[in-house]
Amino acid sequence: MREFLENLKSRGMLIEVNKKIYADKIPALLKKLDGRPVLFNLVEGTSYKVVGNICSSRDLLALSLNVRKEELLFRLAEVFRRGSQPEIVKKGRCQEVTEGVNLNNLPILTYTAGDEGPYVTSGVVITRDPEFGRNVSFHRLMRLDDKRFAMRIVEDRDTDVYLKRAGGELEVAICIGNHPSFLLAASTSLDITVDELEIANNLREIKLVKCKKVNLEVPADCEIVLEGRITGELVDEGPFLDLTGTYDIVRKQPVVEIKHFTHAENPIYQALLPGGLDHKLLMGLPREPVIFNEVNKVCECKNVLITPGGCSWLHGIVQIRKKDSEDGKNAIEAAFKAHKSMKHVVIVDEDIDIYDLNSVEYAIATRFQASKDVVLKKGKGSSLDPSANQVTRETTKVGIDATIPSDKDKSHFLLVKIIGEDTIRVEDYVSQ
Ligand SMILES: Cc1cc2nc3c(=O)[nH]c(=O)nc-3n(C[C@H](O)[C@H](O)[C@H](O)COP(=O)(O)O)c2cc1C
């Protein structure tokens, strides 16, 4: 993460707050400056610096991977198909200092008045299963006391599967303060056998160090590592502000006990604003290449967008080159298969601009007939959608095929230009 902050600084893209600030003022400033990375150099009562909003735009994520914004989807789609083993080294920044375990020493923030307590929101949790190997995933952590957290683990996700297979207790390494490329890898939901550390290594080379008290490896250059164990105990977790900008419900969730605490010298704690652009982009963007790859198995997919209006999670737009009358419907099925939490998806042709919602609405208005072009599916969706059953995740999904109908004359659907529209120069006739 430090190298990325240096890069931002050299480009004048990092806002540095040098005035001393109380930690309880940080969330509101991150919200006001959402979309722009902010580093708080002096935080009252702690030696940690605090940074936030580092993944809060597509431009920032593209910069972190050294690609153009338009190439992000295709780069991720390529990398998600294969990984490569990171090298294990003896020493890492994340183990420069060993502290006695006291979670009160971390500047863990409380984000809203109704949150049950202070939450670590940028914690990436690494686990291992004897058969499936390593898993890397985000899990929010509610501080319970100086040694324990409650960890939100969405049912059926890989960490949940690993935990159940291990009989309810599992070693974990929690990494805080990571490079955006590693955070993107942690946000993916690929096959259970895929090691996201290998995906991270293909996105941008990483080195690993072995943990001191648990049989796991962590990125050598992250800022903070908390080693511990998920115990068999369950406690109430939440309420907590989630992606939709609403409170997630209270559930019984596992306790994690921290046994070992290491960090970098002059450590930087990473904050992640719940419901903010960081959160939204990290959730939604890695789904786009997964949908892209899956839709490409059934027809030619050109582009995918998980839209911000759908909380960057519940709504998708898929652009295809339609060759067969069933391509639109097949694309709907493939998109829902690839992103199981998605509730509504719209399939459009190549001439529709998926980044312009008016253009997408135009396709629905002129190319779609609900009696034959809609797919309605009952099934499991997102636990985050307040209109669904948030316990069972039962929901109804809608797929809209807004591609030009194959049984009609295509020429009736193409936008008609006025004679000379492309060639006439306004300034030749009108002075501004
Ligand atoms: C910022 C952020 C916070 C997240 N918080 C949680 C969480 O608290 N619990 C959870 O189970 N998943 C959470 N997720 C989702 C998982 O990390 C993500 O879906 C991951 O791909 C699941 O991986 P898996 O299918 O390999 O388990 C979060 C994702 C992001 C980007």
pLDDT in tens, 54-96: 999 999 999 999 999 989 999 999 998 888 999 999 999 999 9
Q: CB under 8 Å to 190, separation ≥6 — which residues? A: 80, 196, 199, 290
CA distance 196 to 187: 9
Residue position matching structure tokens 């099925």: 333
Choice from 187, 244, 383 to test ligand 1 binding pocket (greatest atom count within 8 A of CB): 187
Right CATH number for 2-281 from 2.60.40.10, 1.20.1530.20, 2.40.110.10, 2.30.110.10? 2.30.110.10
Whether residue 242 lies in the annotated active site: yes
Q: Is the CB of 154 under 6 A from ligand 1?
A: yes
Q: Which atom of ligand 1 is nearest to the CA of 140?
A: 8
313-370 pLDDT, tens digit each: 999 999 999 999 999 999 999 999 999 999 999 999 999 999 999 999 999 999 999 9
- CATH 2.30.110.10, the chain: domain bounds: 2-281
Pocket test for ligand 1, best of 54, 137, 280 (most atoms within 8 A of CB): 137
Answer whether residue 391 shows pLDDT above 90.
no
pTM recorded for the entire structure: 0.92
Q: Whose alpha carbon is nearest atom 7 of ligand 1?
A: 139
Ligand 1 center from residue 418 Cα (angstroms):
50
The pLDDT of residue 189 is 86
Whether 139 is in the pocket of ligand 1, judged by its Cβ within 6 Å, is: yes
pLDDT at 432 over 80: no
Catalytic residue of the set 115, 195, 242, 385:
242
Give span(s): CATH 3.40.1670.10, the chain: 286-406
Pick the residue whose CA is nearest to atom 25 on ligand 1: 189
In our burial notation (b when 16+ CB lie closer than 10 A, e otherwise), range 300-337 reads: ebebbbbbeebbbbbbbbbbbebeeeebbbbbbbbbbe
Question: Ligand 1 pocket, 158 CB below 6 A?
Answer: yes
* Model confidence at 49: pLDDT above 80: yes
In ligand 1, the atom with minimum distance to the C-alpha of 192 is 26
In our burial notation (b when 16+ CB lie closer than 10 A, e otherwise), range 206-225 reads: bbbbbbeebebbbbbbbbbb
Torsion (CA) 270, 271, 274, 275 in degrees, nearest 10:
-80
CATH, domain range 286-406: 3.40.1670.10
Distance between CA atoms of 64 and 124, rounded to whole angstroms?
18
> Alpha-carbon distance 191 to 304, whole Å?
20
